[in-house]
Amino acid sequence: MTSRGQVWRDRLIAWSPVLLLGALAALTYWLNAQIQVAGPTFDGSDRHDADVFVDNFKALSLDSDGRIRQALVAKRARHFPDDDTIALDVPEVAFTDPGKPRLDVTADHARVTGDREHAYFEGHVKAVREATKDAAGKTDGPITFVSEYLHVIPKEDRVVTDRAVTITDPRGTINSTGLEFDNKAKTLKLKSRVSGQLQPQSKSP
């Protein structure tokens, strides 16, 4: 008999967290194009001091038809010349690519490394993917993913956390301590303390 934990793992794979990973991974590269810093090296630049501050930072990415694909707002963006990192306070990211469900990501803070290969989201990290409908009219979602910390590794197509995570949709909720999602291998690992409750969806009349 299939265990409840195995059922939850199958359900989670069906929820396609690849959408979250792809969106967060794209953000690390997109930020590099939005904040460009150039200029001479000043005395003391080897310290971890910000050389650029942008309050009420806003950036949009448009497709060839002028439609918004990604939108980012943050209370403050800071660039650090010693390691070329970018720090964001209260970032809010919206991914509205045509043909894909909208995804909104918020956190208290975010940090992107200088090589743009790692992004760290901390504090009340929340991703919400809007509900979708298949060809038969069946609704899937909305899906909410919540944690205090997410480490996104775009080059490896992985998202990792060692903190508590919660995933919910209309069918139920699952909790785990630690998660690793590998987009290339299409595998999802829930580390420990996995628990949850699944309710059958009501059938349409």
Query: pLDDT per position in the chain (205 positions), as tens?
Result: 455 555 555 554 444 445 555 566 666 666 666 655 555 555 445 677 777 888 998 887 777 777 777 788 899 988 888 888 889 999 998 878 777 778 788 999 998 887 877 888 899 999 888 887 777 777 777 888 899 998 888 777 788 889 999 988 888 888 999 988 776 776 778 888 988 886 766 554 4
3-class DSSP assignment, residue 184: coil
Structure-derived torsion over alpha carbons of residues 106, 25, 76, 85, reported in degrees to the nearest 10: 140
Burial class (CB in 10 A: 0-12, 13-18, 19+), 47: exposed
**For the domain bounded by 4-34+50-198, which CATH number is listed?**
2.60.450.10
* Partners of residue 128 on adjacent β-strands: 104, 144
What gap in Å lies between CA 139 and CA 162, rounded to an integer?
31
Two tokens, residue 64 = 């060839």
Residue ranges covered by each domain of the chain: 4-34+50-198
